[in-house]
Amino acid sequence: MSCKSLLYMVGMFVFVPVWIGLLWTDFLKIRECASQLLHAWVLGFATMLATAQLVLVPFVMMQKTLTQALLLWRILLQILAVLSFVIWLGRRAGAAETVADAAAGTEDGAGVQKKERGKAGTWTIVFGILAAVLILLQAYIPARYEHSDDDDSRFVAEEVSAVVHDTMYREDPITADYMYWDTGEVRKDLTSPWAMFVAMHAKEGNMAPAALSHAYLPFFLILICYALYLLIGQVLFGGDWEKTFLFGIVLSVLHLAGYTSTHTLASMLLLRIWQGKAVCASFALPLFFYLFYQIMKKEAWKRWIPLLYVAGVGTCMLSGIGIVTASVLLAVYGVLDFCYYRNWRKTLAIWLAAVPCVIFLGYYLM
């Protein structure tokens, strides 16, 4: 892998999603540094998926080229990055007063608090290092030791065809004959164009699609998934980082020992993560449950509701399974939330997040 390609991957799967995700952390008023970074990474990547879905589906239908789709997607990401930068500057301008207010009144009882924090911090660091080693190991293994199966050959063929011919779903992945985008199995790929998302990165990063899928994508996608799992750990353990890192260690061990079939979550995460269905199972669906928890907090639900729409659209791009499952999850959670709060406005807002999924599903079934 060339240095240029490596820099591209780090930029597109770390820096860009984090930078875009700062828009959400500012909107959600998340200020704690580590939590802000994880939220920005996860929510920024979800935003990238949703933006790609909104670009790719109509461009495939209009028979546009991969280059044209890539150009528009790049422009949209740049607009989001500029907005994030402007908001960051605005927040930076008032940071001095905030720091001064936060520093006031912290001297009383400082000795006891420091002692307690020091004791807790030791185990937090130990568990954090162990969790980081296990997570990086899991990200390294698929990237270093390629694993491929028969199920993804069609997707790789579509990616290669898109990069070589600068088209999107116009050549049969088996015979290479010219075809329309709504023919055969490719019809469902229109509503879930994950292969074209990968093809855009391959073209932009000057990498072979197969190498990108099997060797480079897994490393970054696994890290993004674990960033989400750590956020879930924060929810489960009330923001305690020591317990969150311990949760990450246990989860890592379960994943490493979880290859009992090709359909377990461990297999999806560690062996098939370059496939859209695996990203759906390992990232998109856990993201929904995390958002559901946040929305259940009565005082903060209005700030988190827009993310359901982003997650819904982004999940559609990953897989047809994601389209169906996201719709079911939103419908069921809407009923559950209404039974708890009896708030029709909130329930309606939740259900409306399933509209994009229903539209894509309806087109596929037509």
Tell me the C-alpha distance between 364 and 193, whole Å. 13
Q: What is the pLDDT of residue 98?
A: 53
Tell me the C-alpha distance between 68 and 326, whole Å. 29
Amino acid at 185: E
Residue 178, φ and ψ in degrees, nearest 5 = -65, 140
Q: What residues of the chain score a pLDDT lower than 50?
A: 100, 104-119
Q: What is the pLDDT of residue 1?
A: 61
Q: What is the pLDDT of residue 75?
A: 94
Q: What is the pLDDT of residue 148?
A: 57
- Which 3 state secondary structure label does DSSP give 294? helix
Tell me the C-alpha distance between 214 and 274, whole Å. 7
Q: What is the pLDDT of residue 287?
A: 96
Q: What is the pLDDT of residue 199?
A: 93
Residue 359 CA, distance from chain mean position: 22
Tokens of 146: 């390629």
Return the closest-CA partner of residue 55 out of 76, 31, 40.
Answer: 76
- Which 3 state secondary structure label does DSSP give 178? strand
Tell me the C-alpha distance between 149 and 160, whole Å. 17
Tell me the C-alpha distance between 319 and 281, whole Å. 10
Amino acid at 325: T
Q: What is the pLDDT of residue 149?
A: 55
Residues near 276 by beta carbon (within 8 Å), at least 6 away in sequence: 155, 192, 194, 195, 317, 318, 319, 322
Q: What is the pLDDT of residue 114?
A: 41
Residue 38 CA, distance from chain mean position: 11
Q: What is the pLDDT of residue 245?
A: 93
Residues near 284 by beta carbon (within 8 Å), at least 6 away in sequence: 46, 49, 311, 314, 315, 318, 322, 326
Residues near 208 by beta carbon (within 8 Å), at least 6 away in sequence: 160, 202
Tell me the C-alpha distance between 197 and 39, whole Å. 22
Tokens of 43: 């929510």
Q: What is the pLDDT of residue 338?
A: 92
Tokens of 3: 């240095």
Nearest-5° angle of CA 161, CA 198, CA 275?
105
- Which 3 state secondary structure label does DSSP give 40? helix
Residue 292 CA, distance from chain mean position: 16
